[in-house]
Amino acid sequence: MLVATDAAKPNEYDCRKVGDGQHKFSALPLLGYDCLPATGTSATQPMSQKATTEAIDAQATALEKLRTDINQKSVTQDSDILALQKAVWPLDVTFAASATVVKAGAETSVILSWSISRKGRDVTAQAAIELDGTPLSGSSRNMAVNLAHTATRQFTLKATFEGIETTRTCTVRGTLPTYFGTVASGWTPTAAAVKALTELTVGSRQLTRTAVTLNDSRIVLAYPKDFGALTSVKDGNGYETLTAYTRSELTIDGHAYYCYLLTTPVTATAVTQSYS
């Protein structure tokens, strides 16, 4: 028989008595329930609180692990899908400077321009753009640079569209001037005489000049010595003419220069000279 031991809770039977045919009911001992220490299939046996709590906790742990696994798989799948989209339809970014070589020691305005497209469609206006880490909009920027000889300034553009990110760089380099021109047969190389020639911003010894007219005159090319000595000078027909020049050295504004002077005066029109 079930027994409620708490008078305040007469409907909560927390013990039982079992008759033995000999003793009065009041003399029978109170007995607790035999609780199962684990889950099972019995419809009549009670289960201990400890076993119940452990079973619930185990299910909660299993559910949390399942949720974490699903989230991780979802993130992995999203990442895989994004990688596939990037491979099939990449974000095409062009990034360039209006001048990649500028005169050393002079402030120069350089226009940086870019375009962004995906799936053949221009998305420059819709993309998120950063130039050297600074967010901006549009398709160009005017930047002022002032570089020493051989010094460089690198610009970095990052474009993001529909979760796909692409980075491009372009570099501007400072250089001392190169000088070129035609001179009279009696011309002598001096710093002042060279600086009176046409000033060019080249950045290397590679240079091609076309449509040069000579009238009993000579060609002069002068450039910073650290570009290295010429190894070839070819005319418009591809013939080697390096030996036709005399090389000298001089100092211009404190910098060492090579000066190449056509040794023998020439009369000719539409002359091409390719230096390297």
Amino acid at 9: K
Pairwise CA distance, residues 30 & 49, whole Å: 20
Kindly tell me if the per-residue pLDDT of 91 is higher than 60. Answer: yes
For the chain, the distance separating the N- and C-terminal CA atoms, rounded to the nearest angstrom, is: 113
Average model confidence (pLDDT) across the chain: 88
At residue 73, the pLDDT reads: 67
Kindly tell me if the per-residue pLDDT of 130 is higher than 90. Answer: yes
- Interval 160-188 mean pLDDT: 96
Categorize the per-residue pLDDT at 205 as very low, low, confident or very high, splitting at 50, 70 and 90.
very high
Q: Judging by DSSP bridges, how do beta strands 164-175 and 101-103 pair with one another?
A: parallel
Rounded alpha-carbon distances, angstroms, from residue 205 to 177, 187, 201, 234, 256: 11, 22, 11, 13, 14
Rounded alpha-carbon distances, angstroms, from residue 80 to 74, 77, 85, 163, 200: 10, 5, 9, 12, 51
Global pTM reads 0.68
Find the range with the poorest average confidence among 30-44, 80-94, 161-175. 30-44
Categorize the per-residue pLDDT at 158 as very low, low, confident or very high, splitting at 50, 70 and 90.
very high
Categorize the per-residue pLDDT at 45 as very low, low, confident or very high, splitting at 50, 70 and 90.
low
